[in-house]
Structure 1
Amino acid sequence: MAKSVPVSWHLKGDVNSHSFTLAGAGTADLATGSTELRLKIMPSLPEGYDPALSHMICNFTLAGYAAVPEVAVSMRDAIDTKAFVRPRRHIIITDAAGEQVTRLEALTTMEITEAGISVTNHMTGFSRLPSAVSRVMGEEYLVPGLGGTATGVARYAVVLEDGTVLDGMTVVPYRFDRQDVEVTPARRVLADQSCEWAAADEITLRATSRWLTLSRVDETAGA
């Protein structure tokens, strides 16, 4: 497959009892580990939900596949043409008092063909962020399972524009179609995360990732 791959990306959401879609196209650069998605919002986003969180909520499968693999066995080695997030991915974001301000669940299917990569997401739950997201900081840890499975766990800080700092955690149950491949325990380091508004109903998501082998310190910290 070419290093720069076209991507079709679609999310159907039902958040705060508000139905919407976030869909469009972009590219995944397998040489640099970067992804860029230009997405249209229809009809509107629910109040209290910010797409700047997408890098830590919905884009794990694509970003993990695109990430530069500085490990022995990466997600790319475990995927032939399909990968899934099954059962549902869980996202919990809490405030300083430990109260949940966001609780979401999502399913993902990613298919790889000669034409490119197709990603579909279905998300439900609630999100009541008190203000817009300024930046998100965190990493994903990947733990191998049996029979072509692995679990990703991401811990991250969400800094809002009003100065509030929230604590986020996403748990991702991956299923790969190469069931005889066991991925290397790893952590995915993110850089250059951004969510730019091109219009009132259009955003561009960008991020760059790479997989690093877990050190003894990392394994202890993640336990």
Structure 2
Amino acid sequence: MAASKPHSYFYRNSLTIVFLILFVVTLVAQAFTGWKENNQEIEDQGGKPLEFAQYLNTGHFISATFENFQSEFLQMGLYVILTVSLRQIGSAESKSLDEPEEVDREPQATKDAPWPVKQGGWILYLYSQSLSLIFIILFFASWALHFYGSWLDHNDKQLLMHKPTDTALQFIGEPTFWFETFQNWQSEFLSIIAIVFFTIYLRQKGSPQSKPVDAPHMETGE
């Protein structure tokens, strides 16, 4: 048999690279359009517009950026944790209702196993929970930065309107921050419902997120 052709670096990492490019492009676009919108609000209140570099340090930019980040990390963290024990019959996103899954087997310290598996003990335990842990850490870090940015932006607007600023403790009781938070969380939960439910009846040939096209609707898992 002929030797398989070696894959290029891009082919081996194309999913990450393409989404990283999309992330950078849309983040830059968000920053630019947010800068324009914020300056328009400032000028409407009689203030002096900001330079683009100055805008990147404002609460307006920090809040808008991490408002989205924290909801995404919450979504993925809960998804990773809840799919351990919860099921949805017929969904490509669910484990089998009864049959044992490869992901549930006990780790073995084989030659090619990751270093924490070979170490064992508490290091192995942490590693076995590391995917959900990193999403939890990123969620709380993003939530804190969203709160910080939203508080700064709120006080900037208060100053423009010649009103007193609020402390962080006062602001956390205001509905604005929680409105921003919950509107993002509910959209993330809806997207999970959509992917879990639609994969029961709909297919995408070639996608690992879909069951095979000819799979029965009530066949659970990929």
- Return the structure number with greater strand share: 1
TM-score bucket of the superposed structures, by smaller chain: under 0.3
User: Over alpha carbons, which structure has the higher Rg?
Assistant: 2
TM-score by length of 2: 0.25
Higher RCO, Cα 8 Å, sep 6+: 2
